[in-house]
Structure 1
Amino acid sequence: MKKKLFFSGLIAMFVLSAIGHYAHWDNTVQFVVSALAIIFVAGFLGKATESVAHYAGQRLGGFLNATFGNAAELIIAIFLIKEQQFNMVKASLTGAIIGNLLLVLGLSILLGGLKYKEQRFNKRLADHNSTLMIISVIGLFVPAVFVASEKFTIEKDRFLSLAVAGILIVAYILWLVFSMITHKDILTDEVMNADHGEEPAWSKGKSVLYLLLATVMVAFVSEWLVHTLGAFSAKFGLSELFIGAFVIAIVGNAAEHSAAVILAMKNKIGAAVEIAIGSSLQIALFVAPMLILISAMFGHTMDIIFRPIELTAIGVSVFIAKSVSQDGQTNWYEGVLLIMVYVVLGIAFYLV
């Protein structure tokens, strides 16, 4: 019954979003309908990924969920880049990072902790994730400081952005080799890999098909949503920073929200952490650098220089997430702390 209602809502919202876009409805109505459609489509994406994860294993499944869960943010960002809305792209990347580290991880730890007094996951994996999070901050912080203090020319700025982007992508690829191939055995989480006797939602072939279908649907709805952003933000007096960092990020993170929280409530906190922190690492070390390269292909290179408030938000999020996850165990109160930091940042961004 629940599945039928979900799929009915998914189809209805997708169709309404398409009609609203092509019939040129009021921009505010289009924005609301498209945002709801993205949430449904992202939920569909999360369910398909979770089903694929049953066949691929939870470690690889967490990576797949983070990857396809980030599809919404990546596709939205590409359309924004085509329109040269670079500030909103950077704001959405900032929002995706802090949203995963604070909101997604916080909700997972809180709701999982209310059901289980204490949840544990692989401490070595937590240590490596913490180190990578710090590297991602360094990769974003250094260019901003050097360009601002040394007053780089546009050519130097562009070269530094492309160079750092390439280095971060290589670092991320090598991390995948390290964690999934050469040191896979020591980073395995037995609880994370346990299926607790659960059956996948669909067969292997249908799961892969639905995963591809959901990704295509995300691409369409993302484009429709992007076309409404300018008019929506102007009508309600919202800054590009707030729209990008919180509105787009929350909508785009719907897949991670649903999948990570569900897994945490099944006592699979390792998989939930893998989705939340893994998704943030992927945004910082792969998606953001890839967008730099993609923008260069469009002929207008976006630099990797984030604003001080964006860097502050990312740095604060990494610090608290590292503090909470580094011991390899969680409880509900730690989840509350993460969510509180997210609320504080949300209020600050809203007032900008």
Structure 2
Amino acid sequence: MISFALLLFIPLSLALKYLVGAGPIWLFLTGVVAVAILADWVRRATEQLAERAGSAVGGLLNVSFGSIAELVLALFVLAHGEADVVKAQITGSIIGTSLLGLGLAMLVGGLWRERQSFNRANTGLLSTLLILVVVALLLPAMFDIQAHTGMANTDAVDERLSIGASIVLLGLYGANLIFTLVTHRGVFAGDEPSGNSAWSLARSLTVLIVGTIFIAAESELVSDAVEATATLLQVSQAFLGVIVLALVGTSADLFAAVAFARQDRMSIVFSICIGSAIQMALVVAPILVLASWAIGHPMNLVFNPLELFAIAGAAFIVRAISADGETNWFEGMLLIGVYLLFGLAFYFVGA
């Protein structure tokens, strides 16, 4: 009932925009809540379709639609020429799921248990891919620093390098899907889908399609209000991107991770949290780079030092915590604490 009631934020936000002419803060707040709720409904629809399709096709469905809210929201922000805000959103999504989401899940799941265990093989692969993300994002930044010493048209070179890197990253993610879903499916398989979905096929497809359409509408509303909201709240657009917009897109993953942690299903928690961060870096970011050319607002993969430090820090901390195959509530507190430290740093950017 609560999830149905929260859907009222959709007509409320649209009414504030087109009937009342409310200020940007109200449009931004109601819009981000609406996107978060819609993202959860799209996630549910995707899970129901995956339940019918089996693990291989289900994995592809989750890749295709798991980050739809983040992708659509970022596209509309990018269409406004706010490439730096989009890169902040990518950073926030990576650290939000790998630090805050995983930390909350460990904390909630470990409060009444001494320890929780998970599949080390799957988590080891995921954490290795997260390290790859760090290397892939460090390369354009290091190249940019080096190129500035002897190249006149550095921006053009950065964009070409970013396009090439994006194609490589998408290829690596495709290889990861083949590895985990086809050639080594038995090693990484979890619970097989029962084939008995609680939703009908028609309902799942309807929720997926309608949810995506409304996400697009709400994302346009939010992107229109980002700059004015940042000015009125006296915070940087980087903070809104890293914390607010990123958490909006990943909220469904965060709630799902906590729910599975309470059921002591930590292997799924790691797959959701780290998998979402990897998907953001290896799928969503490259797609945004390629799409940015089509919409006339080119974006590169040159992140600023603070963003790179946050992503690298999250990757190495997750790698260390996941090495022993066990978690506890205190490790969750550590992850949340690191996320809060990064949040403070981004809050004071431009202050």
Q: Say what the alpha-carbon RMSD is for the aligned residues.
A: 2.2
State the alpha-carbon separation in 1 of the partners of residues 278 and 222 from structure 2: 25
Q: TM-score, structure 1 length as denominator?
A: 0.91
Aligned residue for 1:245?
242
Q: Which residue of 2 aligns with 1:18?
A: 14
Q: 1:82 aligns with which of 71, 79, 82?
A: 79
2:165: which partner in 1? 164
For residue 29 of structure 1, what is the aligned residue in structure 2?
Answer: 26
Q: Provide the secondary structure at the position in 1 that maps to 2:298.
A: coil
Letter in 2 for 1:263: F
1:291 maps onto 2:288 in alignment = yes
Instruction: Output aligned runs, 1:333-352, within 5 Å.
Output: 333-352=330-349
- TM-score scaled to structure 2, two decimals? 0.91
Give the equivalent residue in structure 1 for 2:178: 177
List alignment gaps of at least 5 residues for structure 2.
none
Decide whether the 8 Å contact of 1:66 with 1:276 is kept in 2. no
* Residues matched between the structures, number: 344
Deviations 1:224-251 (A, max 9, x none): 1111111100111111111110011111
- The separation in 2 between residues aligned to 1:252 and 1:215, in whole angstroms, is 13
| Alignment CA distance shift 1:332-1:54 (3 Å) | farther
Does residue 143 of the first structure (1) align with residue 132 of the second (2)? no
The share of aligned pairs that are identical, in percent, is: 37
Report the CA distance shift for 1:170/1:83 in structure 2 as closer, same or farther (over 3 A): same
Give deviations 1:297-335, integer Å, cap 9, x for gaps: 123321110000000000001111111123332222211
Does residue 278 of the first structure (1) align with residue 279 of the second (2)?
no
Amino acid paired to 1:350:
Y
Q: Do the aligned partners of 1:63 and 1:275 also contact (CA within 8 Å) in 2?
A: no
Within the alignment, does 1:323 sit opposite 2:324 as a pair? no
* Structure 1 unmatched runs, 5+: none
Please give the residue correspondences for 1:85-104 in structure 2 after superposition, counting only pairs within 5 Å: 85-104=82-101
1:214 aligns with 2:211: yes
Distance 1:203 1:50 in 2: 12
User: How far apart, CA to CA, are the structure 2 residues paired with 1:291 and 1:39?
Assistant: 20
After superposition, the Cα gap between the structure-2 partners of 1:50 and 1:218, relative to the gap in structure 1 and judged at 3 Å, is same
CA distance in 1 between counterparts of 2:123 and 2:163 reads 29
Letter in 1 for 2:160: F
Q: Can you list the C-alpha shifts for 1:12-37, whole angstroms capped at 9, x where unaligned? A: 11111111222321111111211221
Cα offsets for 1:41-73 (capped at 9, x unmatched): 223223333433443457875775565342111
Q: Distance in 1 between matches of 2:162 and 2:334?
A: 34
Mean CA deviation greater in 327-336 or 178-187: 327-336
1:43/1:255 contact within 8 Å kept: yes
